[in-house]
Amino acid sequence: MAVAAAVAVPWAGCCRSVTGRRARELEDPRHMDWDAVFAWLRHSPAGGVAALIVGLALGSFINVVIYRLPRKLSVIRPRSCCPACGRRIRPHENIPVLSYLLLRARCRGCQGRIPLRYPIVELLGGLLTLLAVRLAPSPETSLVWMLFALALLAVVFIDLDFRIIPDWITLPGTLIGLLWALMGAFPLRDALLGVVAGGGGLLLIALVYQWVTGREGLGMGDVKLMAMVGAYLGWQGALGTLLLGSLVGSLVGGGLVLRGKGTRLTALPFGTFLAPAAWVVLFGGQLLWTAYLSLFLG
C-alpha cells in the first residue's frame, strides 16, 4: 500500500485540474501532462523505480529477441517456453530477475539450468531504460534513446552467439534514427553524415583489409550496425563509437593471444564491442568530450 501511495500521489499530480463534466476526462491520456510525468520519472525516487521496472520487463522481451530472431522464429508467438523441455513458462515464473532467484536458476519442469545471461540482460534493460529516462532532455528523446539502447542490447548477445547482426534490427533502426532527425531532434545533415561516416567508413576499412590480406575481416552486419549508430549519434558519435569499440576489441583480442586462447587471426564479434561503445557515447559522450578537451587542450 505504501508503494502504491508513493506512485499514485505524483502520478495524480500529473493530471490537469478539471471540474464538472471534464472530471471524467481525468483518465483520458490526451489530457495527461506528459512533461510532468517525465519530470516525475526523471527526478523522483519512485519514478526511477517505475522506469527500472519497465526496463526489466523490456529486458525480458529482449531475451526473447536474442533467442528467436537469429533462429527466424516469431518474437510474439508462441508464449515463452523452456528451450530444453518445451514446457510453457507461466506468468508467475516469468517475472524479471525475481523468478530466476525464486526458481534457483532451474526450470520447474525439467530442472534444466537457466543461464545467468537471462537476468543479466533483464538488469541491463532496466539500467538502460533508467539512463534514457534520467539523461534524455525530453520525453520523446528518452523514448528514442531507449529503443536505440535496447536494440544495441540485442545486438551484443546475438553477435556474440551467432556472429550475425540481423537486418531486422539495424535497417528499421537506421530509418527510425533518420526520421527522428527529420522531425527536428537534430540536423538531418548530421544524421546522414553519421550514416555515411559510420557505415561507409567501416565498409572502406573492410574493403582495404580484404584487399591487403585476401581475407574478409568484417561482415556487412557490422557496417549496417555502424550506419544505424551514425543515424542516432551523428558522424562524431559514429567515429567515437568506432574508435572506442576498436580499442576494447583490440584489448580483448590481445588478452586472448597472451593467454594462448587465440591468434592474431582469431575472429571476434565486432558488434559485441561496438554496441557497448555506442552506449558510452550516447549516455556519456558529452562528458567524455569535455574530459578529452581538458586533458589535451588544457
Give the span between the Cα atoms of 262 and 258, in whole angstroms.
Answer: 8
pLDDT in tens, 104-140: 999 988 999 999 999 999 999 999 999 999 999 888 9
pLDDT in tens, 214-248: 777 788 999 999 999 999 999 999 999 999 999 99
Give the span between the Cα atoms of 97 and 95, in whole angstroms.
Answer: 6
Letter for the amino acid at 242? L
pLDDT in tens, 135-188: 998 889 999 999 999 999 999 999 999 999 999 999 999 999 999 999 988 889
Could you tell me which residues come within 8 angstroms of residue 297 by beta carbon, excluding any fewer than 6 positions away? none
91 pLDDT band (50/70/90 cuts)?
A: confident
Question: Which residue in the block uniquely carries the three cell numbers 505524483?
Answer: 10
Give the span between the Cα atoms of 270 and 198, in whole angstroms.
Answer: 14
| pTM to 2 decimal places | 0.84
pLDDT in tens, 7-61: 333 333 333 333 344 444 445 555 567 778 888 888 899 999 999 999 999 999 9
What are the two backbone dihedrals, phi and then psi, of residue 15, each rounded to the nearest 5 degrees? -85, 145
In terms of DSSP H, where are the helices of the chain? 2-13, 34-43, 45-68, 98-102, 117-135, 139-162, 167-182, 188-195, 201-213, 220-258, 270-297
Q: How far is CA 267 from the centre of its chain?
A: 24
Give the span between the Cα atoms of 151 and 164, in whole angstroms.
Answer: 14
SS3 label, residue 69: helix
Q: How many CA atoms lie within 13 A of 224 on its CB side?
A: 16
Q: CA geometry: angle at 52 spanning 163 and 153, to 5°?
A: 10
